[in-house]
Amino acid sequence: MSAPLEDYALIGDTYTAGLVSRSGSMDWLCLPRFDSGACFARLLGGERHGHWSLAPYGDGWSVTRRYLTDSLVLETTFRQAGDEVRVLDCMPVRNDRPDVTRRVEGVRGRVPMRSCFVPRFDYGSIVPWFRPDNRRLHAVAGPDHLTLDSEFPLEPTDDGRAVTHFQVGPGDAVEFHLGWNSREYGSPPRPGGDIVSATRRWWQEWASHCRYQGRYREAVVRSLITLKALTYAPTGGIIAAPTTSLPEQLGGVRNWDYRHCWIRDATFTLLALLDSGYESEARAWREWLLRAVAGEPEQMQILYGIDGTRRLPELELDWLPGYENSRPVRIGNDAARQHQWDVYGELMDALHQARHAGIPPAEDAWRVQRKLMDFLEGHWREPDSGIWEMRGPRRHFTHSKAMAWAAADRAVKAVEDFGLHGPVDRWKRLRAQIFDDICDKGYDPGRNTFTQHYGSTTVDAALLTLPGIGFLPAQDERMRGTVRAVEEELLSGGFVQRYAMTDRTPHVDGLPQGEGAFLPCTFWLADCYIQQGDTARGRALFERLLGLRNDVGLLSEEYDIRAERLVGNFPQALSHIALINTATGLDGHRSGQGSRQDGASAGRSMR
Ligand SMILES: OC[C@H]1O[C@H](O[C@H]2O[C@H](CO)[C@@H](O)[C@H](O)[C@H]2O)[C@H](O)[C@@H](O)[C@@H]1O
């Protein structure tokens, strides 16, 4: 069985990532890319689905963990009586092929250690052939070829495991290297040099460019490093999380594959990176984006594969029982076929922010934006699946319309602020039309709140982003009423649900009821408090959210209030983005998703 989510730490090489538990077991690793089949899938099943444990032998060891300062090198320290040993885990940022380095360092006493290597390709389903070769073990099946290098002879057992026992004393260091090779690479040379120090230095150099110097620096830098680790270096694509099917409710069916690039999530990531001083990532993401959406605007998808692939068919892996028996385990994501109008606004906004940040213009950007605007003009009145990717009927989601407003607003500003060419008067009229439409149909004057969708009687946490995009100031009475409605309807145990799942809202998402509180939405509520001037309240909520991070500073997508556990895919970009934004807002630099609040006046002036 897997460990609780809180027990996992992330390592990665900006091509793929793995999760290591407190007890030293690597229970999730997809090779060679984020979206490849996992060779360790115990996270979603049991020992037989693949893992690699490296820890002191026997019971009774206490464990502490940390990342080496400002890096993605994980240090796990095991102590018992007078004995102490540490394991350093990392993936060197890649030159050609993936490599996991695990270094054992003796500190005190003579510590008996055990490495148990159980690779299972294709998400735990395929037992490889093993071929020992002195201190190297080959594990091969189909397209996959792992090599495990060690200082000890590695002998496989009949049940497809390689178990090694050894001892370390003070000052001893023992390293294991796991490499993945495709057939054409053949057998790679043994890795050499001080890989752990080089990897630590790489991350520290990267983190040193962070502009944020406020009081939450440690949490912000950890979040930035996590976002960088979720970036696919060859294309600049940014994944939503490195896992699939970690459930939104323990034992539930809301289990999705997040190892893909959502325009929405990636755009928010881009803005957080840009605000924190990381322009080259922003440029790389823009290249990815422009390539991915190239073609006819009606063919634009809301999510793509990490290399821009469009087809992401959703499959269920029936041999995996799922994290804590949460079936099904899915790969691929059918949300790729949905229409969600908010992504047009997010995309237009991100390219606008990139211009504001002085990122040199991309050749095709404005041409693509104009085509997308033509498309949106003809379609914004249609219903969509909304930011939460509802699998129920399409609706007129108020947040989606507000993001269509944001798209029109940024188109106008591109002409007015940057001198780009376009039908600015037409776009101004469009912006005003959408604004009026929302205020007429997506606002309930009786309750003084915007509503989830046109004509609905409930609210939606996505509406908390309206001040951040500049639609209305947070102090506007309608926004104050909306915040109050969110508090009344969606707050549970102090954390915010995305939307109500009650008998009043049947079939809104087409799924059985029940999921955790959504952490990004709770950060958005803190943003609204700060924007309304109630900094103390915003800070208190923010610090409560910080308290949900695990011991190495990571957050999942959701939080199960009753079980007091993190749930959903892990670590999740959206949660870490929201953390960075709120921290930045609390330090007075800005609040909300991006410095976009100048847009509100433009919308209203056209009424
Ligand atoms: O809850 C239903 C949907 O859940 C996933 O979508 C959520 O995650 C996305 C990635 O972080 C995010 O962009 C979206 O706003 C969230 O609702 C899942 O990917 C969908 O397939 C599913 O319908």
Residues 45 and 114 in one domain: yes
Residue 444, both tokens:
């309930």
Are 576 and 548 a contacting pair, CB within 8 Å?
no
Domain boundary among 175, 204, 233: 204
Question: How do residues 469-487 score in pLDDT, each as one tens digit?
Answer: 999 999 999 999 999 999 9
Q: Which pLDDT value is given to residue 502?
A: 63
Distance between CA 567 and CA 557 in Å, rounded?
7
Rounded distance from Cα 326 to ligand 1 centre (Å):
17
Residues 281 and 375 in one domain: yes
Query: Which atom of ligand 1 has the smallest separation from the CA of 389?
Result: 23
* CA-based nearest residue to 6, from 573, 564, 545: 564
Distance between CA 464 and CA 554 in Å, rounded?
24
Query: Which atom of ligand 1 has the smallest separation from the CA of 388?
Result: 17
Q: Which pLDDT value is given to residue 596?
A: 45
User: Does the pLDDT of residue 598 top 80, yes or no?
Assistant: no
14-18, 513-517, 577-581: least confident range: 513-517
* CA-based nearest residue to 516, from 492, 546, 533: 492
DSSP assignment letter at 250: T
Residues 321 and 401 in one domain: yes
pLDDT band at 188 (very low <50, low <70, confident <90, very high): confident
User: Does the pLDDT of residue 127 top 80, yes or no?
Assistant: yes
Residues 179 and 228 in one domain: no
pLDDT, average across residues 136-153: 93
User: Does the pLDDT of residue 595 top 80, yes or no?
Assistant: no
Give backbone dihedrals phi and psi of 15, rounded to 5 degrees, phi first. Answer: -125, -35
User: Does the pLDDT of residue 184 top 90, yes or no?
Assistant: no
337 lies in which domain range? 209-605
Question: How do residues 576-590 score in pLDDT, each as one tens digit?
Answer: 999 999 999 998 755
Residues 153 and 54 in one domain: yes
Query: Which atom of ligand 1 has the smallest separation from the CA of 574?
Result: 11
Distance between CA 530 and CA 602 in Å, rounded?
22
pLDDT, average across residues 150-169: 94
- What CATH number did the domain enclosing 270 receive? 1.50.10.10
Residue type, 62: S
Residues 417 and 502 in one domain: yes
Residues 65 and 149 in one domain: yes
Q: How far is CA 417 from CA 375, 413, 599, in A?
A: 23, 5, 12
Mean pLDDT of the chain: 92
Residues 21 and 120 in one domain: yes
Q: With DSSP H G I counted as helix, E B as strand and the rest as coil, what are the percentages for the chain, rounded to 5?
A: 35, 20, 40
Distance between CA 264 and CA 120 in Å, rounded?
33
User: Does the pLDDT of residue 603 top 50, yes or no?
Assistant: no
Domain boundary among 150, 185, 204: 204
Q: Give the residue with greater pLDDT, 596 vs 307.
A: 307
Q: Give the residue with greater pLDDT, 287 vs 417.
A: 417
Between strands 517-518 and 144-149, the pairing is unpaired
Residues 158 and 251 in one domain: no
Residue 258 beta carbon below 6 angstroms from any ligand 1 atom: yes
- What CATH number did the domain enclosing 144 receive? 2.70.98.40
Q: Give the residue with greater pLDDT, 152 vs 18.
A: 18
Residues 255 and 388 in one domain: yes
Residue with tokens 């955790």: 516
User: Does the pLDDT of residue 515 top 90, yes or no?
Assistant: no
Question: How do residues 48-89 score in pLDDT, each as one tens digit?
Answer: 999 999 999 999 999 999 999 999 999 999 999 999 999 999
State which of 256, 302, 400 you would mutate to test the pocket of ligand 1, scoring each by most atoms of that ligand within 8 A of its C-beta: 256
Domain count, the chain: 2
Q: Which pLDDT value is given to residue 170?
A: 98
Residues 109 and 228 in one domain: no
Q: Which pLDDT value is given to residue 503?
A: 57
User: Does the pLDDT of residue 182 top 90, yes or no?
Assistant: no
DSSP assignment letter at 3: P
Residue 203 beta carbon below 6 angstroms from any ligand 1 atom: no
Domain boundary among 155, 173, 204: 204
Rounded distance from Cα 182 to ligand 1 centre (Å):
32
CB burial readout 553-588, b (16+ within 10 A) else e = bbbbbbbbeeeebbbbbbbbbbbbbbbbbbbbbbbe
Residue 385 beta carbon below 6 angstroms from any ligand 1 atom: no
Residues 197 and 214 in one domain: no
Are 247 and 514 a contacting pair, CB within 8 Å?
no
Query: Which atom of ligand 1 has the smallest separation from the CA of 302?
Result: 13
Q: Which pLDDT value is given to residue 122?
A: 98
202-216, 267-281, 373-387, 432-446: least confident range: 267-281
pTM value is 0.95
